Amino acid sequence: MLAKRIIPCLDVRDGKVVKSVRFLDTKDVGDAIELARRYNDDGADELVFLDINASFEQRRTVVEFAARVAEQLFIPFTVGGGISTADLAGELLRAGADKVAVNSAAVRDPSLIAQVAGRYGSQACVLSIDATRSATGFEVVIDGGRVPTGRDVVAWAIEAVGLGAGELLVNSIDRDGTKLGFDLELTSAVAAAVSVPVIASGGAASAADFVRLFRETNADAGLAASIFHYGELSVGDVKEALAASGVAVRPRERVLA
Amino acid sequence: MIAIVDYGVGNLASVQKALSAVGAEAELVRNPAKLADAAALVLPGVGNFGHCSREFHRFGFAPAVRDARDRGIPILGICVGMQLLFDGSEEDAGEPGLGFYRGTVARLTGVPRVPQIGWNSVTKSGDHPWLRDVADGDYFYFVHSYVPLSTGDVALGTVEYGGPRLAIVGSDRLLGVQFHPEKSGANGLRLLGAFARAA
pLDDT along chain B (199 residues), means of 10: 91 90 96 96 90 94 97 97 95 92 94 94 96 96 93 91 96 97 95 96
Contact yes or no for B118 and A2 at CB 8 A:
yes
pLDDT reported for residue A15: 61
pLDDT higher than threshold 60 for residue A1: yes
Distance CA A177, CA B197 (A): 48
- Residue A119 burial (CB < 10 Å; 0-12/13-18/19+)? middle
- With beta carbons under 8 A apart, name residues in chain B contacting A218: 112
pLDDT reported for residue A54: 58
Distance CA A232, CA A234 (A): 7
CATH code for the part of the protein at B2-198: 3.40.50.880
Are A200 and A222 a contacting pair, CB within 8 Å? yes
pLDDT reported for residue A165: 97
Q: List the strands of the sheet with B2-5, edge to edge.
A: B26-29, B2-5, B40-43, B75-78, B174-177, B164-171, B155-160, B123-124
Contact yes or no for A74 and B144 at CB 8 A:
no
Q: Which comes out higher in pLDDT, residue A228 or A19?
A: A228
Q: What is the pLDDT of residues A194-236, one digit of tens each?
A: 999 999 999 999 999 999 999 999 999 999 988 887 778 999 9
pLDDT bin (cut points 50, 70, 90) of residue A24 is very low
- What average pLDDT does this structure show over A140-153? 93
- Residue in A closest to B48 by C-alpha: A121
Q: What is the pLDDT of residues A53-76, one digit of tens each?
A: 655 556 677 788 788 888 878 899
pLDDT reported for residue A71: 82
Comparing CB atoms, the residue among B115, B135, B180 nearest residue A254 is B135
Contact yes or no for A1 and B120 at CB 8 A:
yes
pLDDT reported for residue A257: 42
Closest CA to A117 of A62, A49, A163, A60: A163
Question: DSSP readout, B20-87?
Answer: HHTT--EEEE--GGGGGG-SEEEE---S-HHHHHHHHHHTTHHHHHHHHHHTT--EEEETHHHHTTSS
- Whether the CB of B187 is below 8 Å from some CB of chain A: the reply is yes
Q: Is B146 helix (H, G, I), strand (E, B) or coil?
A: strand
Q: Is B182 a catalytic residue?
A: yes
Contact yes or no for B118 and A1 at CB 8 A:
no
Minimum mean pLDDT range among A47-61, A116-130, A169-183, B148-162? A47-61
- Torsion over CA: A211, A217, A223, A225 (sign): negative
pLDDT bin (cut points 50, 70, 90) of residue A21 is very low
pLDDT bin (cut points 50, 70, 90) of residue A22 is very low
Distance CA A35, CA A238 (A): 17
Q: Which comes out higher in pLDDT, residue B109 or A257?
A: B109
Contact yes or no for B186 and A251 at CB 8 A:
no
- What average pLDDT does this structure show over A112-139? 94
CA distance B6 to chain A (A): 13
Contact yes or no for A254 and B138 at CB 8 A:
yes
Measured in degrees and rounded to the nearest 5, phi and psi for residue A157 equal -60, -45
Distance CA B83, CA B99 (A): 10
Interface of A with B in 125-164 (CB under 8 A): none
Measured in degrees and rounded to the nearest 5, phi and psi for residue A43 equal 100, 15
CA distance B160 to chain A (A): 5
Q: How many CB atoms lie within 10 A of CB A27?
A: 10
Residue type, B165: R
Residue type, B80: V
Annotated catalytic residues of A are 11, 130
Domains identified in chain A, total number: 1
Does A250 fall in a domain?
Answer: no
Q: How many CB atoms lie within 10 A of CB A121?
A: 24
| Rounded (10°) CA dihedral A201, A202, A208, A211 | -20
Contact yes or no for B119 and A76 at CB 8 A:
no
Q: Which comes out higher in pLDDT, residue A94 or A133?
A: A133
Candidates A1, A2, A37, A161: best to mutate against B (most CBs of B within 10 A) is A2
Radius of gyration of chain A measured on its C-alpha atoms: 17
pLDDT reported for residue B184: 95
- Residue A244 burial (CB < 10 Å; 0-12/13-18/19+)? exposed
pLDDT reported for residue B65: 98
ipTM of the complex: 0.92
Q: Average per-residue pLDDT in chain A?
A: 88
pLDDT reported for residue A19: 60
Residue type, B24: A
**Which residue range(s) make up the domain with A143?**
5-244
- What average pLDDT does this structure show over A40-53? 85
pLDDT reported for residue A161: 98
pLDDT reported for residue A230: 79
Candidates B114, B120, B121, B143: best to mutate against A (most CBs of A within 10 A) is B143
Q: Running DSSP on this structure, what letter comes out for residue B130?
A: G
Interface of A with B in 179-218 (CB under 8 A): 195-197, 218
| CATH code of the domain containing A80 | 3.20.20.70
- Whether the CB of A256 is below 8 Å from some CB of chain B: the reply is yes
Distance CA B159, CA B168 (A): 9
pLDDT bin (cut points 50, 70, 90) of residue A25 is very low
